[in-house]
Amino acid sequence: MPVAAGRADHLELRERIRAQGRLPVIVRLHPFSPPPDSGMNDSETLQMSILADRQAQLIDRLLQTTGTPRDTLAIKTFSSTPALAMQVDERELDVLLGDPEVEDVSEDMPVPSSGF
């Protein structure tokens, strides 16, 4: 998603970041499936390895672009979900929204328990 589109689509998120300085977000990556003729199998181990590489590359790009210390972002990766959780300011949000691997960024909010 281009940064310009991200600015228009995430106004409420931006306002909350401006008010709080940093905000916990979930960064969803575009789904990845190897092309059928790539010779890559669909093993869970391989998929998890590819996901870990994609997450690491995104984190590296974000850190290099912004100069933000990794600890400030409080990054949490997920081993089987194409997403990351982190704390961002508005500049970091712009970088994420402009990254071709990023499908969407949304506020990380508590989900009420269903009682089960």
pLDDT tens per residue, range 78-104: 998 999 999 999 999 999 999 999 999
pLDDT of residue 30: 93
> Going along the chain, which residue ranges are E strands?
23-29, 76-77, 83-88, 102-107
pLDDT in tens, 29-71: 998 876 666 555 667 788 888 899 999 999 999 999 999 999 9
Rounded to an integer, what distance in angstroms lies between the CA atom of residue 14 and that of residue 11? Answer: 5
Residue the block writes with tokens 């228009």: 8
Residue 114 has pLDDT above 90, yes or no: no
- Unique residue bearing structure tokens 């998120």: 13
For the entire predicted model, the pTM comes to 0.82
The domains of the chain, with CATH numbers, are: 3-33+45-107 (3.30.70)
